[in-house]
Amino acid sequence: MIPFKLGTLEPQLGHLAKNIEVLPRCRVLGGKELGLLGVGEAHGACSLLHAAGIGYGASLPLTLNTKVALRDNPPKNEPNDPDNLLESVLKSWEDAGHKLPDAENLYWAVKSEIPPRQGLKSSSSVAIAALRALCAATDTTLENSELVDMATNAHFNAGITITGSKDDNWAVCEGGWKIVDPSLPASESVLFKGEGPSPKDWDVLIVLREERESLPDAEDFTYHQQAFSKALEALQNQNPIMAMTWNGRAMCGVLNDNTNRRLTNDAMVNGGRGSGISGSGNSIIVFSPAASKPTLERIAKWYESKGFDLIITKPLLAEEKSEDEDS
C-alpha cells in the first residue's frame, strides 16, 4: 500500500492495505501442482476524455498498483468478482488462440491499491495484470496492443463497459496518455499521445465517494458534446489537466448530479489547478502543484472535513525512448 502521509494528514484507507482477494478458477487440465504459476502487474488511471462522449477516449496513468497472481492452489477466502471479469479474461485469452497453463486447477490472487467502481480503471488494471500473469505462466510474449485488445474483449464479455475501455486498457499498460479510437484494433487505435504531467510538478488527490451502482446510458452523452470537444482540443494542445477539467464538467452533465459540480468546484476554490469526475464516477480527481504542499493540505483537509476518504498519488510518465528506438 502507498504511504498516505502528508504533514498531519493520514487518510483513513487502511482497508485498502488489506484489499487482497483470491479469485478461484478451477479447471481439470492435467499436470502437477506448481504453486505460483505467474504474476502480472498494471496500474490505475483517471479519465481525460470519456470515449462515449465524441468517439475518442483518453486516460492518464496513476501510480496505483495492481498485482495479479495465477496459482494452482486453492483460495483461503471466498472471492469477490461480481462481474466474473477474470473468467472473461480466460475466455478472451483462449479466444485469441493461446493455451492455458498445464495445471490441474487454476486460481487467481489479486492485490490492488485501486478502489473498485470509482472510475479509476480498476477493471482494466486487473484485466491487464491477469493477462500478463498468463503470459508469465505460459512463457508467452505479447505486444501491449495485443493485451489491450484481449482486455477489451474481456470487458465486453463481462458487461462492464460502454465503449470497450480501450483507452483505459492502454493507460494501465503504459505511462503517458493517448487519444484512442476505440473502434480500431489496438495496434492502430492510438491517434495522438503525450508524455503526461510530470510527477515532480504535480500531486494528484483522489476523493473517494460511494461506489458507482451502474453505468450511464450512451444517449446521456449526446447532449454534452461541446464540453467533450473542449477536452479533446486541450489534449491536442498538450494540456491534459485542462482536458480532465473539461471532461469532468461534461460528466457532471451526463450524470445529472449537482453534488458532482459542487465538489469539483470546491477543489478549484481551495487552490486546485484542475478537477473533474473520473470515468463514469464517482471519484473526483484534483491536481495540485507539488511545489505548494500547503495547497494540497488545504484541499485535503476540506474534503476530509466533509467525511471523504482520500488517496494522494502521482501521474505516471511515458518511458523515454532511446536514440536507437527513435532511429
What rounded mean pLDDT belongs to the chain?
A: 88
Count CA atoms closer than 13 A to 165's CA, side-chain side: 35
Q: Per residue in 191-202, pLDDT tens?
A: 999 999 999 999
Q: Indicate if the pLDDT at residue 15 is higher than 50.
A: no
Cβ pair 233, 58 in contact under 8 A:
no
Whole-number Cα distances in Å, 217 to 162, 221, 230: 8, 8, 21
Q: Which residues of 189-218 are buried (b: 16+ CB within 10 A; e: fewer)?
A: bbeebbebbebeebbbbbbbbeebeebbee
Q: What pLDDT, on the 0 to 100 scale, is given for residue 81?
A: 84
Q: Per residue in 47-102, pLDDT tens?
A: 999 999 999 999 999 999 999 999 898 756 655 788 999 999 999 999 999 999 98
Is the bond preceding 80 in cis, omega lying within 30 degrees of 0? no
Q: Give the whole-angstrom CA distance, residue 245 versus residue 252.
A: 11
Q: Is 30 left (phi over 0), alpha (psi -120 to 50) or beta?
A: left
Cell of 170: 492502454
At position 148, the amino acid (one-letter code) is: V
Sign of CA dihedral 250, 173, 288, 200: negative
Q: Give the whole-angstrom CA distance, residue 26 versus residue 35.
A: 14
Nearest to 118 by CA among 284, 231, 316, 266: 284
Q: Per residue in 243-293, pLDDT tens?
A: 999 999 999 999 988 888 999 999 999 999 999 999 988 999 999 999 999
Domain ranges (residues) in the chain: 14-319
Instruction: Name 42's bridge partners.
Output: 66
Q: What pLDDT, on the 0 to 100 scale, is given for residue 22?
A: 45
Q: What pLDDT, on the 0 to 100 scale, is given for residue 79?
A: 52
Q: What pLDDT, on the 0 to 100 scale, is given for residue 35?
A: 83
CATH-assigned architecture of domain 14-319: 2-Layer Sandwich (3.30)
Cβ pair 75, 141 in contact under 8 A:
no
Which one has a higher pLDDT value, 236 or 14?
Answer: 236
Is the bond preceding 260 in cis, omega lying within 30 degrees of 0? no
CA dihedral 289, 124, 83, 105 (to 10 degrees): -130
pTM of the complete model: 0.87
